[in-house]
Structure 1
Amino acid sequence: MAVVTGASGGIGAATARRLAKDGFDVVAVARRAERLRRLAEETGVRPYVLDVTDGEGVRRFAAELGSCDVLVNNAGGALGADPVAGADVADWEWMYSVNVLGTLRMTQALLPLLRAGRGGTIVTVTSTAAFTAYEGGGGYSAAKHAERALAETLRLELCGEPVRVVEVAPGMVRTEEFALNRMRGDADRAAAVYEGVDHPLTAEDVAECVALAVGLPQHVNVDRLVVRPLAQAAQHKLHRGPLFGD
């Protein structure tokens, strides 16, 4: 069984689809019931409405599961693009709560099930912001740095147990909501993020990376898989213009 959080859209939904295609019994977890229902009708995954920041809800969810072989901590997001000097503290609190504490709650709650099987895998979807800061990204980068630290520490603490800890760190991914949510619904600002970039990553690209790491033999651990579009050589080095012909 595989549990995927943040599965109502973007990378989470694409990962749920990809793991279901690989034969996993997938439990798709997210806050938006209607989107989960449509995903379940499309793919056969099991929907579960849950906010990963709700500690009691997470514990109740874990108690209802009979087993868990794979946990994909994908729920997260960015809010705001203000400089540190003018940032809204509430935005930082939200990003830390969802990206870091949500991952912590899910990991703690499902770890006994992951340990109980013949071998478990925890995949945490972070970001290249987890190791490179950039202007306007202080809150998101801080949250993703913390999420990366969580994964690295957990890997050390589980050494000697058959549970893999994998980090997948995407660069620029174009999904329908990430930039739009970050820019508080400003479609023009969201579109400008990707303007002129030839083939940003898609949610499906990242899902393929998750599936690759999960599908390797249990003795093979991908500590960190960094994936970017070809147009993005680094967090601060982005080519805007054509790369590929027709």
Structure 2
Amino acid sequence: MPKKKAAAKTQPKNHKRKKPIILVTNDDGVAAPGIRALVEAVAGLGKVIVVAPDKPQSGMGHAITIGHPLRMQKVNLFDDVEAYSCSGTPVDCVKLAVDKIIHDKPTICISGINHGANHSINVIYSGTMSAALEAAIESIPSIGFSLLDLSIEADFTAAKKYARTIVEQVLNDVDLDKHLCLNVNFPKGSEKMIKGIRVCRQAYAKYEEEFDERKDPHGRRYYWLTGEFLNFDRGKDTDVWALENQYVSVVPVQFDLTHYELKKKLETNWTF
């Protein structure tokens, strides 16, 4: 008699998906109002763990600490949420969280909510977005969140609502690219003022900069970076346009900086 085939194993009806682990970081510091708003926004969506700088690290880009030791300290700043302050950069925070706190890759890494927009060229300089990109490099889907309001008293009410919606979309996407990284910016204003969400491209805009020369009380010169943000891109599909028109902008970004179109031209036209 032929042997009966073993019955295929099936998941029990009450099987539940593993609880997501949500790593939260930022570049404004672990005590900033923006990171508290982000922790509150994702409450209940998974196990939340915070690892963030112990002081502001804006404009640090993708810097890492290699010349001196890093320190971490457990802090009690968020109700029932495991949280640590780190002496390093936002990228350091992600690396340490994976290796020494979670001992595994979290389901998702979210960074922010930054005080001030990270649209257009700001993505290059932003510690908020560099933390998110570091996670994407490590095959951890990630999102950087920023609000177009530099005030320490900024209202994050609307940002919290839309941040939760976007995080839920990512967590529920079964075909998710493990290297996904989204740059999300919220316009300033109340929830009623926001028209919705737009998936955008990064605008061509930049700062026209200069250094203001001053003197300290001892008569020694020092310099303070100043500048004006100028948008050279009139497209209506950009992050700058979306924010100017009261939309939440979502720009998919990547750490592969290869200019593929130019690569093809060079391969065709250059001779070596």
TM-score category, normalised to shorter length: 0.3 to 0.5
More strand as a share of residues: 2
| Larger CA Rg, structure 1 vs 2 | 2
Q: Looking at both structures, which has the greater relative contact order when contacts are Cα pairs under 8 Å and sequence separation is at least 6?
A: 1
More helix as a share of residues: 1
